[in-house]
Copies of this chain bind each other. A is one copy, B any other.
Amino acid sequence: MTNSDKERLCVSEEKVRRFVNRALISADVEEGVAKLTTDGLVSASVRGVDSHGIRLLPHYLLELESGRINPKPDYEFECTAPAVGQFDADNTYGIAAGMRAMESAIDLAKEQGSGHVSVRNSSHNGMMAYFSLAAAKEDMIGIAMTHTSANTRPPNSTRPFFGSNPISVAAPMLDEGPFCFDAATSAVTFNEVRKLRDSGEQLPPNVAANADGHETRDPHEATQLLPFGGYKGFGLSMVVEIFTGLLSGMDVGRDVSEMYGESISEPRQLGHYYSAINIDSFTNPSVFKRRLQDLAEEVRSEPRLDNDQPNMIPGDPEKAAAKERKKRGIPISDHDLEKFDEIADTYDLDPLTD
C-alpha cells in the first residue's frame, strides 16, 4: 500500500462494483455489456492498475452520451478457420467485446489446441491482463494486445508514431493466481508522467521526449514517450500494430483515433488480438503449473542486490495490491469521488460512499 493509498478514502470492491454497474445500466447499457465492462474496470482497480480502473467511468459514460459507444451492440463472430475467428464489436465498450472475443478464443483452443480472435470496430479495452488472465484460468496461456493512438516516438524520429501498444501474456501456476506479464511497449505511460508533474520529481532517463523529439527529464516538458529499451521496444510496438491494426483491417500508426479530444462522438474503430494456447495439447497441465510455480519460487529466492526489495516475477506487484485492496477496499481520489458524485446525480443513483 502506497502512502497516497493510505491517505485516500477506501471503498469495498463490492460497493464499487455495484456503483459502476448501476451507472452503466442507468445509462442504458445492455446488461451483459455493463457486467463485463464493470468487471474489467473494477478488476484493474483491485489489481492496483488505477490508470485502467474505475477512474475511467466518467470518460466511458461521456463516450456513451456523445454517441461514440453503442450501448446495445449486435456482435458478429465468424469462425474463418478451425483455430481463428473474427469478431465485430459493433462499436461498444472494448472491454466487454474483448472478453467475449477471448471466450471465443478459449473455446477454439479447447477443440483445436489454440484459438486466435481478431476484433474490429472496437473501443478502449482497458487492462490487457483482464483478458490473458481469463485464458490462464482455463489452464491456457493467454495473449492479449491492442494498438492505441500515437504517443511514442520511434528511435530516430521527432514525433510519435505508434501508441503505447501493450501486450499481456498470462499462464497458470499451481498455488496462486497466474503468472501475468502486462506491459506497454512505451517506457512509461502518460499517467506516470502526470504523477511526476504533481510530485515535482524528475523523469527517469530515456522514457520521454519534448515537442522537438529530444529526450527530457522534465515531466512538464514531456509531450511524447520513448519506447522501452530503445529500438527493441519500438520493434515490439510495431509487432503489436501488425497483430491488432493490420489483422483486423483497422487504421494503423498515426491514423489510430484518439481516446480524448474533439472526436469523442466518433467511434474509435480500434482493433485487438486475443489468443489462447491450450497447455494440455503440449504437456500435462498439472506438471506445467507445478513447474511454473517452482520456477517462480526459485526466481523469488535468488540472492538479492538490494535486500530490502523483493525479487519478483511478472504479476507479483498486482497480486500484492489485490491482496491489500480486497481487504481494505479500493482507494478513491478526491477528484474521482467528485466525478462519481456527479454521476450519481445525473443517473439518480445512491452515491458511491453511501
Residues of A within 8 A of B (CB): 80-84, 86, 111-114, 116, 118, 141, 154-159, 161, 169, 171, 179, 181, 183, 187, 205, 213-214, 228-233, 235-236, 238-239, 241-243, 246-249, 252-254, 277-279, 281-283, 287-288, 291-292, 295, 298-299, 302-306, 309-314
Contact = CB atoms under 8 A, between A and B. Distances in A.
B183 A232 contact: yes
Nearest to A81: B113
Contact of A282 (B80, B229, B298): B80
Contacts of A158: 302-305
A246 B305 contact: no
Given A181-B235, A233-B229, A111 B84 contact: no
Q: Which of A159, A243, A299 is most buried by chain B, counting CB atoms within 10 A of its CB?
A: A299
A148 B181 CA distance: 20
B181 A112 contact: no
A171 B247 CA distance: 11
A210 to B, nearest CB: 11
Contact of A118 (B181, B214, B230, B282): B282
- For the residues of A in contact with B, the DSSP-based class is mixed
A247 B288 contact: yes
Nearest to A309: B156
B181 A282 contact: no
A279 B249 CA distance: 11
Contact of A161 (B84, B302, B309): B302
Contacts of A254: 298
Nearest to A205: B205
Nearest to A284: B249
Nearest to A213: B305
A84 B281 contact: yes
Contact of A235 (B232, B248, B298, B314): B314
A282 B247 contact: yes
A291 B248 CA distance: 12
Contacts of A298: 161, 253-254
Contact of A241 (B118, B205, B228, B295): B295
A81 B113 CA distance: 5
Contacts of A229: 187, 228-230, 232-233
Contact of A157 (B228, B230, B304): B304
A219 to B, nearest CB: 19
Contacts of A295: 238, 241, 246, 252-253
A242 B278 contact: no
A249 B303 CA distance: 26
Given A213-B305, A253-B299, A311-B157, A292 B246 contact: yes
Contacts of A111: 82
Nearest to A308: B156
Contacts of A81: 112-114, 278, 281
A232 B86 CA distance: 30
Given A156-B309, A303-B158, A84 B114 contact: yes
A178 B118 CA distance: 22
A278 B247 CA distance: 10
A118 to B, nearest CB: 5
A155 to B, nearest CB: 8
Contacts of A306: 156
A266 to B, nearest CB: 21
B179 A242 contact: yes
